[in-house]
């Protein structure tokens, strides 16, 4: 079910981007930015399809830019272009207002993502890239109780904990196993 405000399929249609829903096991999705065409598996969950199309739209939009062209030619860091795209998509899919509502209703990343109709990855990306001004529009207690931070992945090498509000104490937990690898 489409829960966030951004309907990628409609946006693609308005931009003249062709979306072909195909049944395939090998390939989740494939696109050609210059041809403004995309193939996507019909078997993916609806919110994943929405994000994939939103991602494709950004590739099409950026394909004609200097950086997009350079990335295609191997003259610009492609991973940076992907990061730029994640940032744009996360902003389109998760408005500050919707995020404020979702984190007020529920208190963990999985439920907030479900509430917003996005993947946890997209929610994490949005949280990581909130501006100070956007953070000031959100209920801070609700952000804090998410217990989310960069390196949310349990395998991350280290993370900081804030045990008691107001004590000024922070502890840092290091994942030793990870460092020995
Ligand atoms: Zn991409």
Dihedral sign for Cα atoms in the order 39, 6, 89, 154: negative
| Closest by Cα among 128, 66, 44 to 91 | 128
56 CA distance to ligand 1 middle (Å) = 7
Question: Which pLDDT value is given to residue 3?
Answer: 54
Question: Which pLDDT value is given to residue 172?
Answer: 67
Question: Which pLDDT value is given to residue 72?
Answer: 83
Residues, the chain: 181
Cβ-contact 38, 17 below 8 angstroms: yes
Local confidence pLDDT in tens for the 181 residues of the chain = 345 678 998 999 999 988 888 886 665 566 677 778 888 887 888 898 899 889 989 988 998 899 988 998 899 999 999 999 999 999 999 999 999 999 999 999 999 999 999 999 999 999 999 999 999 999 999 999 998 887 666 666 666 666 655 666 666 666 655 555 4
- For 175, phi then psi, to 5°, come to -90, 95
59 CA distance to ligand 1 middle (Å) = 6
95 CA distance to ligand 1 middle (Å) = 21
Which pairing describes strands 158-161 and 29-32: parallel, antiparallel, or unpaired? Answer: unpaired
- Structural domain spans, the chain: 8-154, 155-181
Q: Which residues contact 162 (CB under 8 A, 6 or more apart)?
A: 144, 169, 170
110 CA distance to ligand 1 middle (Å) = 23
Q: Which residue has the tokens 């090498």?
A: 157
Question: Which pLDDT value is given to residue 2?
Answer: 45
144 CA distance to ligand 1 middle (Å) = 31
145 CA distance to ligand 1 middle (Å) = 31
């Amino acid at each position: 079910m489409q829960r966030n405000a951004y309907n990628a399929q409609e946006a693609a249609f308005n931009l003249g981007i062709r979306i072909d829903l195909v049944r395939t096991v090998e390939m989740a999705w494939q696109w050609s930015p210059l041809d403004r065409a995309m193939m996507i598996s019909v078997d993916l969950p609806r919110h994943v399809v929405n994000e994939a199309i939103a991602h494709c739209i950004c590739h099409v939009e950026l394909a004609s830019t200097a950086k997009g062209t350079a990335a295609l030619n191997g003259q610009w860091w492609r991973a940076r272009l992907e990061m730029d795209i994640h940032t744009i998509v996360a902003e389109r899919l998760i408005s500050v207002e919707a995020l404020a509502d979702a984190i007020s209703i529920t208190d963990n990343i999985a439920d907030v993502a479900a509430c917003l109709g996005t993947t946890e990855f997209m929610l994490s990306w949005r949280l990581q890239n909130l501006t100070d001004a956007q953070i000031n529009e959100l209920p801070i207690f609700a952000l804090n109780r998410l217990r989310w931070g960069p390196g949310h992945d349990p395998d991350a090498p280290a993370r900081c904990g804030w045990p008691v509000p107001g004590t000024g104490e922070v502890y840092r937990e290091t994942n030793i196993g990870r460092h020995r690898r």
